[in-house]
């Protein structure tokens, strides 16, 4: 699991020597894993105890470079500790020798992802729209990211809709008005499927807004506001021309 620890089973680390007497079988790590560390598992799977050592002491005292089959039989446990990066696979290469013959093998590890990255807002520039007109809200003015979530699953959860207009998202069924309690995605923004339409001047003071939180369904951001400025009609201005 991403950021976790796992014991390497005999299916990965095992060897047999048919010589009599049995030779000492020695494993040597030739190519270490790129996204994790092989450790002498003195604490078993208690991840917190390894992390509490600090990275420097951990590597100096428990990082494994060489070990023998006899040590494994005597109870030595080899653990793989993932570095918590956004990776789905890893590998390491070991050499096995009995002192005369040598073979090499590569172990391939599958890392189960964990949705632990929080969504964050990159752009929140607001938008300007003409009086009683509509305007796209694109990624030029509104953009969020989540390092372990695709844009189609990165949600803007509306906590308050616009007061003087409509927020509309284009779906397969056509244009749909959305408000508090509903959502749109970063993908909607990137594909220009999100629009604001100014519809009423009653009580209007020149701007409108929506309020939202970002969510990947596991992590949520603090509330944010996106402001919409409406270009009002100036005295003597003719919008019908």
Domain boundary among 57, 75, 110: 110
Is the pTM for the entire model greater than 0.75? no
Are 37 and 76 found together in one domain? yes
What is the mean pLDDT of the segment spanning 164-177?
95
Q: Is the pLDDT of residue 143 over 80?
A: yes
Which pLDDT score is estimated for 116? 77
d(CA 17, CA 112): 34
Residue 221 DSSP class: P
Structure confidence at residue 21 (pLDDT): 58
Q: Quick one: pLDDT band at residue 240, thresholds 50, 70, 90?
A: very low
Contact 8, 105 (CB under 8 A): no
The count of structural domains within the chain is 2
pLDDT digits (tens, 9 = 90+) for 201-226: 888 888 999 999 999 998 999 999 99
Q: How confident is the model at residue 241 (pLDDT cuts 50, 70, 90)?
A: very low
Residues 140 and 78 in one domain: no
Q: In this structure, are 105 and 125 located in the same domain? A: no
Residue 75 lies in a domain: yes
Q: What does the pLDDT look like over 66-93, one tens digit per residue? A: 999 999 999 999 999 999 888 889 999 9
Cα gap 98→89, rounded to integer Å: 30
Q: Tell me which of 59, 81, 110 is where a domain ends.
A: 110
Whole-angstrom CA distances from 39 to 79, 124, 137 are 5, 45, 50
Taking phi first (over 0 means left), then psi (-120 to 50 degrees means alpha), and beta for anything else, what does residue 217 get?
left
Residue 40 domain-assigned (yes or no): yes
The verdict on 54 and 137 lying in the same domain is no
pLDDT at 238: 52
Cα separation, 29 vs 38, in Å, equals 9
Spatial strand order of the sheet with 127-130 comes to 127-130, 224-231, 207-215, 155-160, 183-185
- 105 and 139 co-located in one domain: no
Sign (positive/negative) of CA torsion 83, 78, 88, 112? negative
> Do 18 and 106 fall within a single domain?
yes
Contact 132, 156 (CB under 8 A): no
Do 82 and 132 sit in the same domain of this protein?
Answer: no
* Residue length of the chain: 241
Up-side HSE of residue 136: CA atoms within 13 Å toward CB? 10
The answer on 130 and 91 residing in a single domain is no
In a domain, 154, yes or no: yes
Examine the fold and report which residue of 77, 110, 143 is the final residue of a domain before the chain moves on: 110
Measured distance CA(157)–CA(234) in Å, rounded: 35
pLDDT in tens, 26-50: 999 999 999 999 999 999 999 999 9
| 239, two tokens | 């919008």
Are 161 and 73 contained in the same domain? no
Residue 135 has pLDDT above 80, yes or no: yes
Same domain, 95 and 144: no
Q: Can you give the pLDDT at residue 87?
A: 85
- Residue 241 maps to a domain: no
The answer on pLDDT for 10 being more than 80 is no
For residue 115, tell me if it sits in a domain: no
Predicted confidence at residue 65, as pLDDT, reads 96
Residue 238: inside a domain: no
Are residue 92 and residue 177 in the same domain, yes or no?
no
Residue 31 lies in a domain: yes
Asked whether residue 140 falls in the same domain as residue 96, the answer is no
In this structure, are residues 137 and 170 in contact, taking their beta carbons and an 8 Å threshold? no
Residue 192 lies in a domain: yes
| Domain of residue 202, residue span | 120-231
pLDDT over threshold 90, residue 148: no
Residue 18 confidence (pLDDT): 60
């Amino acid at each position: 699991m991403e950021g976790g620890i796992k014991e390497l089973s005999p299916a990965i680390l095992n060897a047999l020597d048919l010589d009599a007497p049995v030779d000492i079988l020695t494993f040597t790590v030739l190519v270490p894993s790129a996204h994790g560390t092989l450790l002498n598992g003195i604490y078993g799977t208690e991840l917190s105890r390894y992390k509490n050592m600090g990275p420097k002491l951990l590597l100096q005292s428990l990082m494994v470079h060489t070990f023998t089959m006899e040590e494994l039989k005597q109870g030595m446990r080899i653990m793989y500790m993932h570095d918590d990066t956004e990776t789905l696979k890893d590998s390491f290469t070991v050499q096995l020798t009995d002192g005369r013959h040598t073979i090499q093998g590569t172990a391939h590890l599958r890392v189960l992802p964990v949705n632990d990255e929080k969504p964050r807002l990159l752009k929140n520039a607001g938008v300007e729209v003409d009086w009683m007109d509509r305007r796209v809200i694109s990624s030029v003015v509104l953009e969020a990211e989540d390092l372990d979530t695709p844009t189609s699953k990165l949600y803007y959860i509306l906590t308050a809709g616009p007061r003087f207009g409509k927020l509309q998202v284009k779906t397969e069924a056509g244009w749909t008005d959305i408000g508090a309690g509903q959502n749109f995605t970063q993908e909607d923004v990137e594909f220009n499927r999100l629009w604001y339409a100014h519809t009423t001047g009653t009580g209007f003071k020149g701007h409108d807004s929506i309020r939202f939180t970002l969510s990947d369904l596991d992590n949520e951001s603090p509330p944010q506001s996106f402001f919409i400025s409406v270009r009002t009609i100036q005295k003597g201005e003719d919008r019908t021309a």
